[in-house]
Structure 1
Amino acid sequence: MKTPVQRYVILSFMFFLLFSMSSCAAIGDIFKAGAWTGALFVIVGIALVIWLISKLFGGGGNSNT
């Protein structure tokens, strides 16, 4: 259970963050994080597909000849 002082400190900190950052900066940061996250998922997805195709078509490198 949180004491009233702890709640006051948390609420004060949240209001400070809310008013110290302009809305345009916050939206810009969200879009930047979204773009980089999306690009990372696309790169990982393409690498995974290439890896799966190489495994399916014998690109493992352990032939028995």
Structure 2
Amino acid sequence: MKKINISLILLAMIALSGCSVINGIFKAGVFVGILAVVVVVGIIIWLFSMFMGGK
């Protein structure tokens, strides 16, 4: 019975650390996505200002 309890504790620790890793990956993905949107919007504004500015 004690062996089963230790196995369950180890399994829970592995599963919870996996959730932490996935959480970190999604947080990084959100940051990269926001950064990419800001860069693309900046490039679009820069292109419009080049073509519409007229110097």
TM-score w.r.t. the length of structure 2 is 0.66
1:13-28 correspondence to structure 2 within 5 Å: 22-28=17-23
Q: Percent identity?
A: 44
Match of 1:47 in 2: 42
Alignment gaps of 5+ in structure 2: 1-13
**Number of residues of Structure 1 aligned to a counterpart in Structure 2:** 41
User: Aligned to 2:53, what secondary structure does the other structure show?
Assistant: coil
* Partner Cα distance (1:25, 1:49) in 2: 37
C-alpha deviation, 1:58, in angstroms: 1.6
Moved over 4 A (4+): none
Which structure is higher in RCO with an 8 Å CA cutoff and minimum separation 6? 1
Deviations 1:1-33 (A, max 9, x none): xxxxxxxxxxxxxxxxxx6x8100000000000
Q: TM-score, normalised by structure 1?
A: 0.57
Correspondence 1:37 to 2:44 = no
Structure with a larger share of its residues in helix:
2
Q: CA deviation at 1:37?
A: 0.2
